[in-house]
Amino acid sequence: MARIVVTGGAGFLGSHLCDRLLERGDEVVCLDNLVTGRTANIEHLFGRDGFQFVEQDVSNFIWVPGPVDAVMHLASPASPIDFARIPIQIMKVGSLGTHNCLGLAKAKGATFHLNSTSEVYGDPEVHPQPESYWGNVNPIGPRSMYDEAKRFAEALTISYQRHHDLDVRIVRTFNTYGPRMRPDDGRVVSNFITQALKGEPLTMYGDGSQTRSFCYVDDQVAGQLALLDSDLTSPCNIGNDGEFTMLELAEHVIELTNSDVPIEFLPLPTDDPTRRRPDLTLARTRLGWEPSVALRDGLARTVEHFARELGL
Ligand code: UDP
């Protein structure tokens, strides 16, 4: 049993992580400034033994009284619509926020676990992407505040490991989806499902031939915990290596929602990655973990969630 700080713990991924940690008997201190996180994601945990929520912006100085065994730093807006809306906050939480969390971990003698991203690979020229690939990122493009903040966060994390001998984990999270995504978070899974459920056209950016590899949230959380429990201090991809075009995703969503909506083709955003798929060799061999939820099954559960959330 451990006492674990989860930043961004009221967010989509963070709240599922809090659930799993509590289920396995850990104590959780959840920090979130609720910019994109929602108390609705954690209200079922209020009053539960071992769970504490503190509304706090980790870009400012943080302190958690008492012992801490691990600091899991997930806090960050992560959707392309947030990139245009709150770019400075995204840079701050990735840089200053990571520094504060590293400082907390160092002071407590705790493991630091960074939630990094497949975005460190940018628009990749190597496919699929192994951890050894350095990436192809535009440093001043419309996604740069997220990509470069996460790249800085990885560099800072590895510097703490080398310079202070801090025990660290770096997970590169690939597109993750599932219940508790915000219906208006602007990402493709939430957009397509909510549009189909409301009988609106699906907004396809570009010709729909770009690919992504979608990981169901339960698999993502299991992978992250396998990494936390391992002794792997170098970056590790966690995702699902099934690769789909956005047109294929749209077909699945239309079928699963029994809808008959058309597809509306819109311009592709600047720097939108053409294709993305994790090379999971490291996770499979070192963590003994691999994803188990097929896209169709995960989408079906996500459709149920959005139908409830939209009151349909
Ligand atoms: N996308 C789309 N329609 C939407 C939202 C996104 O076609 O309504 C596309 C987007 O251009 C990208 C892919 O879906 O090629 C995945 O987008 P998302 O924002 O979910 O994730 P990311 O681009 O960060 O991987």
- Inside any domain, residue 104: yes
Question: How far lies 208's CA from each of 159, 184, 256, 281, in Å?
Answer: 40, 20, 19, 28
243 CA from centroid of ligand 1 (Å): 14
Read off the pLDDT band of 98 (50, 70, 90): very high
C-beta separation of 48 from 22 below 8 A: yes
Q: Over 90: is that where the pLDDT of 312 sits? A: no
- Inside any domain, residue 26: yes
Predicted local confidence at residue 287, as pLDDT = 98
C-beta separation of 291 from 239 below 8 A: yes
- Inside any domain, residue 269: no
- Inside any domain, residue 47: yes
Q: Which atom of ligand 1 is nearest to the CA of 205?
A: 7
- Any ligand 1 atom below 6 A from CB of 36: no
Give the CA radius of gyration of the chain: 19
- Inside any domain, residue 88: yes
Task: For tokens 């350095």, name the residue.
Answer: 134
Q: Which of 192, 193, 76, 64 is nearest to 143 (CA)?
A: 76
Q: What's the CA gap between 140 and 149, in Å, rounded?
A: 12
246 CA from centroid of ligand 1 (Å): 8
| 129-173 pLDDT, tens digit each | 999 999 999 999 999 999 999 999 999 999 999 999 999 999 999
Q: Which of 280, 159, 309, 270 is nearest to 215 (CA)?
A: 280
Predicted local confidence at residue 274, as pLDDT = 94
CATH number of the domain residue 164 falls in: 3.40.50.720
Q: Domain containing 21: what range?
A: 3-176+217-240+278-291
Q: Over 90: is that where the pLDDT of 65 sits? A: yes
73-88 per-residue burial string, b: 16 or more CB within 10 A, e: under 16: bbbbbbbbebbeebbe
Q: What's the CA gap between 40 and 10, in Å, rounded?
A: 8
Q: How far apart are the first and last CA of the chain?
A: 40
Amino acid identity for residue 202 in this structure = L
- Any ligand 1 atom below 6 A from CB of 35: no
Pocket of ligand 1, candidates 36, 188, 270: which has the most ligand atoms within 8 Å of its Cβ, to mutate? Answer: 188
C-beta separation of 299 from 149 below 8 A: no
Q: Which of 256, 243, 247 is nearest to 202 (CA)?
A: 247
Pocket of ligand 1, candidates 246, 248, 270, 275: which has the most ligand atoms within 8 Å of its Cβ, to mutate? Answer: 246
Q: What's the CA gap between 131 and 278, in Å, rounded?
A: 9
| 77-89 pLDDT, tens digit each | 999 999 999 999 9
Read off the pLDDT band of 47 (50, 70, 90): very high
Q: Can you list the alpha helix ranges (DSSP code H) found in 132-243?
A: 144-164, 188-198, 217-228
Q: Over 90: is that where the pLDDT of 266 sits? A: yes
Q: What's the CA gap between 207 and 203, in Å, rounded?
A: 11
Q: Which atom of ligand 1 is nearest to the CA of 118?
A: 25
Pocket of ligand 1, candidates 121, 129, 147, 187: which has the most ligand atoms within 8 Å of its Cβ, to mutate? Answer: 187
- Inside any domain, residue 56: yes
- Inside any domain, residue 131: yes
Predicted local confidence at residue 204, as pLDDT = 98
Q: Over 90: is that where the pLDDT of 56 sits? A: yes
- Inside any domain, residue 72: yes
| Average of per-residue pLDDT across 288-304 | 98
- Any ligand 1 atom below 6 A from CB of 269: yes
| 248-264 pLDDT, tens digit each | 999 999 999 999 999 99
Predicted local confidence at residue 116, as pLDDT = 98
Tell me what the pLDDT averaged over the chain comes to.
97
Read off the pLDDT band of 74 (50, 70, 90): very high
| Average of per-residue pLDDT across 57-79 | 97
The protein residue whose alpha carbon is closest to atom 3 in ligand 1 is 204
The protein residue whose alpha carbon is closest to atom 18 in ligand 1 is 187
- Any ligand 1 atom below 6 A from CB of 246: yes
- 55 φ, ψ (degrees, to nearest 5): -80, 110
Predicted local confidence at residue 285, as pLDDT = 98
Number of domains in the chain: 1
